[in-house]
Each structure stands twice: as C-alpha cells, then as structure tokens.
Amino acid sequence: MRGKGIFSFPSSLVLLLLLLLVHGTNGDNPYRFFNWKVTYGDIYPLGVKQTGILINGQFPGPQIDAVTNDNLIINVFNYLNEPLLISWNGIQQRRNSWQDGVLGTNCPIMPRRNFTYIIQAKDQIGSYFYFPSVGFQKAAGGYGGIRIWSRPQIPVPFPPPAGDFTVLAGDWYKRDHNVLRRFLDAGYNLPLPDGLIINGRGWNGYTFTVDPGRTYRFRISNVGTATSINFRIQGHKMKLVEVEGSHTLQNTYDALDIHLGQSYSVLVTADQPAKDYYVTVSSRFTTPVLTSTAVLHYSNSHVGVSGPVPGGPTNEIAWSLEQARSIRWNLTASGPRPNPQGSYHYGLIKTSRTIVLANSAPIINGKRRYAVNSVSYTQPDTPLKLADYFKIPGVFNLGSIPTNPTWGSGYLQTSVMDANFREFLEIIFQNWEDTVQSWHIDGYSFFVVGMDGGQWTPASRLRYNLRDTVARCTVQVYPRSWTAIYMALDNVGMWNIRSENWSRQYLGQQFYLRVYTPSSSYRDELPIPRNAVLCGRAVGHRTRP
C-alpha cells in the first residue's frame, strides 16, 4: 500500500512539485536586509570604562527578528583592528555550513573588510542569539538576540503576549578581551568574572516596563563566558513556554537555571500590586555568588525597588538536575510546521552508533589546555570546510579524534570526526570534572534523552526519556555526571561541537563533525557562496563563476 497515493496525483501536480524541488531553494520567502558596522566603543557595564564591541553603535547589538523560512542578508563591516566572524547560536544553517561563522567553516573578515552572510531561518522558530566567535571577543560584547516568529497560519500554544522582551544576561569581566586572551595564551586560568550584567547593564541599569494585568514573554539567553546563571523575578511566577525552538509543557517556576549558551522563553503576568520588582540573575556553583538586577516596572507604579534582592539557589546540583528533567516537550503543540511536535517519534528510531565524549583539562607543553577524548583542538591555517571543498591535503585528517574516551595524556590536534548523512547518533557527554559543562552543536537540534550522576553505562538507557524530552542546541552536563542526546544527522556540512565555557572553547575543548554525503546535489548541500572569503591554502582557488 505504501506509496500508492503519489501515483494518483495528477501528473501536472507532480511536475509542479519537481519544479519546486529544483527551484525552491529560497522560494518566495521574504528577504530581510541588515547592514552592520562593527566597531570598538567605550562601555561601562560595571561602572568602569572599558572597550566594548558595538554593532551599529549599540551594545548589545541590534535584535534580529525573522519569521520561519525568511532569508536574512546581513552585511557585516569589520572596523575592528582584528579579524572578526559573527556566529549564530542555534540557527541551523540547513545545507549551508558555509554561513556558520566559526573559524572551521569561514575565513575571518579582516579589518576594513566586509562579508555578507546569507542565512535562511529554515524550519525554525524560537529564541537564539548571535555573538563574535573569534578569539575572546565574546567577552567584549558584540552579541545580540535573535527571535524567529511562527508563520501566521501556524498555531502557537499560548495567547499572543502584550510584549516580548529579550534578556541577554551573563557574566562580565572588567578587563578587555585581549587582556583575557593573553592570560589564557600564557597558560593561566581566568579568575571568577567581576560581575553579571543584563542587556549590557549592571545593578538596576535596565528597566522592563509592563502594564498591570497583562502577560509578557521574556526570552532569556545566557550570553556569558564562564558561569551558569539563575534567573528570577521578585514576587512573580514564570511559565516556561519555549526552549531553543521547542514548545514545552507550560510548567511554572520561581527560578530558572540557564547554562552557558542556552535560551529560554517564559511568560510572566503582571498580577502583583503596583510597584517595581527586581529582575535578578545570580551565578550558580561559584564562590562567591555573583548577583545583578534589572527592574520590572509597573507602568502605574510610583514605588521603586526596595529591600533585599531575593535569594536563589547557589550550589544545589540535585535541584538543578530535577528542574532540567521537568522540562519537556508539548507533544500536541505545533513547532515550526503545523503538525504536532510529537509526530516525530525520536524514541522509536534505532540509533546507528554511540559516541562518548569526555572533557578534560590536561597540561600540554607546560600549559593548561582543555580537551575532548584527550584531543585539544588547534586551529589550522585554512578553514576545514574550504580544505574539504577544494580537496587541499594536509589541513586535517578524518578520524583525528577518537569516538570514545582514551584516558591517555592530552595532545594537540586539528580534530575532525567523520559521520554519514542520515545517521541517527546517540552521543554521551561524560564529565569527570568538578565543574558544569555546557555543550553546543552547530547545525542541529538534538533530543536530550537523559542526564544523571556518575558514569554512563548501557544500563543508563533504561531511564531515558524516549517520549517527550525537548529538542535543543545547547545542553549542560553536571559535575561528575553524564548527559545523553539523540541526534538525526539530516544536515550535511562541517559542524562545530564546542564547550560554551569560553576559556575551555578557546583552549581546545571543541572539534568538528563532518557530516558527509557522496551526492553533490544542491538538495543535500548548497554550493560554496560566490562571495566566500578565501584564506590560508585556499587562496587562489575559485569559488563559483
């Protein structure tokens, strides 16, 4: 019986479908154009003057608003005196790792040059952010929010809120990013950050104004470099509705843990007496605890914030783990498409193999480095994606990182793992260190099937959530614990898998996953962009006529 339906289509309709497949790359989806001037500028997030990275004079940078499938044409002009790339945390770049904006896929935009990213928000909804990916620039700002709205005909599982706030929160150093980088290059650990900031401001420096009785969406991302944070609003409940593009069961929380690189949407109703309230972030698992606040201002309030800042959890890991497990997919809600999210039965698909990734902090050549399965990533002179495309030998070797922990001593390597298009992977992140890890995978959204303390074993699978866990792009691994994910390799390309803890990323806790197909069809991967910048050993090769 399978496949019978298709033959009963009128042949003209089949022809139309074929035409759409051939020409439908970007279809009739709207184009949105952005011109970004990236400069240094004086900023005062913690009250002292320092050099920040601004976009069009702003810190944080401009918000990107798009609807599912929109095309974003973002022309980035680099007015810094150092190379630059902007990366798009959580934007999947389907068939298009050419636009990912990390050094393994793109040559950097050199000072006084520009590069136009051509990005499609293909089949995505939700809350994300962008950031400068080169060196330690992320510690100087240069980041901003990304909102991908549902198409008008697709139901959203909650009434339209009265307002939609972006909250970019995270830790901050008073030292300039190049000073921090030199520290790391010299083999020192960075100290604890100097404080936390919300939308570029310190204590009570930013105000969210709400009308009494109405409900607002807050999209909160941890854009910091070193600490997990807890977010809460004095006297108010938060109803969780979205995690990195997944609509969740709408549980209510008083306080929410947000690990490095993660994004959450909550609904908050202004249902309290008219006054001002603290919007609080504090660091998790650090001594001392860093805290900062913004203000939730009722439009009819004449009373400013007062009293002690409400406390939150500090070192409790069990609390955080329990909260993480409570975050689940709403199986009947729509995602980017009108069909219910639960119609994709990830738990029934047989995994093709298991990859175990263990982080470590080895000393290599007398200096602190960070590693995955003992390999500490080093950046080659030519982006991996270009070396792969132009078949330039000697830049990297496939299989240059083991797919299981080796427990040997650490070593430096340009590490690339190979995988085939359409594989369905089980990946275990095993953490034997005392700190929380935060792992991000470019190009994908994956299912977080389980997490727990201790060593993962095949028996751990018995406790997986194979029914309604969320799909997301960044996941935490608690100290001396593991996290397991399922991931369908449906996106051909060269993809960065990295720690979102930026010292660790910078010093080698990352690698690339090359998802390969022998087909050269544009349906599987888009061709190299005409404006691709060439550097290293790719100089002199031709992109496209």
Ligand X SMILES: *[C@@H]1O[C@H](CO)[C@@H](O)[C@H](O)[C@H]1NC(C)=O
- What is the binding site for ligand X (CB under 6 A)? 75, 114-116, 155, 157, 189, 226-228, 249-250, 330, 332-333, 435-436, 501, 503-504, 531
Least gap, CB of 361 to ligand X (angstroms): 6
Least gap, CB of 529 to ligand X (angstroms): 8
Least gap, CB of 402 to ligand X (angstroms): 22
Nearer to ligand X, 205 or 224 (CB): 224
Contact 474, 489 (CB under 8 A): no
- The SS3 call for residue 326 is helix
Nearer to ligand X, 96 or 491 (CB): 96
Least gap, CB of 179 to ligand X (angstroms): 17
Contact 380, 390 (CB under 8 A): no
Least gap, CB of 254 to ligand X (angstroms): 18
How far is 402 from 295, CA to CA, in rounded Å? 48
Nearer to ligand X, 297 or 504 (CB): 504
Least gap, CB of 155 to ligand X (angstroms): 6
Nearer to ligand X, 50 or 227 (CB): 227
DSSP 8-state class, residue 359: E
Residue 10: cis peptide before it, omega within 30 degrees of 0: no
Least gap, CB of 266 to ligand X (angstroms): 13
Nearer to ligand X, 373 or 491 (CB): 373
Nearer to ligand X, 29 or 106 (CB): 106
**Residue 8 CB: number of other CB atoms within 10 A?**
6
Nearer to ligand X, 150 or 501 (CB): 501
How far is 356 from 455, CA to CA, in rounded Å? 11
Nearer to ligand X, 299 or 332 (CB): 332
End-to-end CA distance of the chain: 46
Backbone φ, ψ for residue 216 (5° rounding)? -125, 150
Nearer to ligand X, 275 or 467 (CB): 467
Contact 317, 476 (CB under 8 A): no
**Residue 399 CB: number of other CB atoms within 10 A?**
11
How far is 376 from 127, CA to CA, in rounded Å? 31
Residue 288: cis peptide before it, omega within 30 degrees of 0: yes
DSSP 8-state class, residue 527: P
How far is 126 from 124, CA to CA, in rounded Å? 7
Least gap, CB of 366 to ligand X (angstroms): 18
Which residues have C-beta within 8 Å of that of residue 22, sequence separation ≥ 6? none
Contact 378, 534 (CB under 8 A): no
State the SS3 of 115-135.
EEEEEECCCCCEEEEEEECCC
Least gap, CB of 222 to ligand X (angstroms): 9
Least gap, CB of 20 to ligand X (angstroms): 28
Nearer to ligand X, 159 or 366 (CB): 159
Contact 248, 330 (CB under 8 A): yes
CA distances for 458 relative to 387, 403, 440, angstroms: 37, 16, 23
Identify residue 288 by its one-letter amino acid code: P
Dmax over Cα atoms in the chain, in whole Å? Answer: 72
Nearer to ligand X, 102 or 477 (CB): 477
How far is 245 from 265, CA to CA, in rounded Å? 9
Least gap, CB of 61 to ligand X (angstroms): 18
Nearer to ligand X, 330 or 491 (CB): 330
Least gap, CB of 68 to ligand X (angstroms): 17
E strand or H helix that includes residue 32 = strand 31-43
Contact 74, 80 (CB under 8 A): no
How far is 189 from 169, CA to CA, in rounded Å? 23
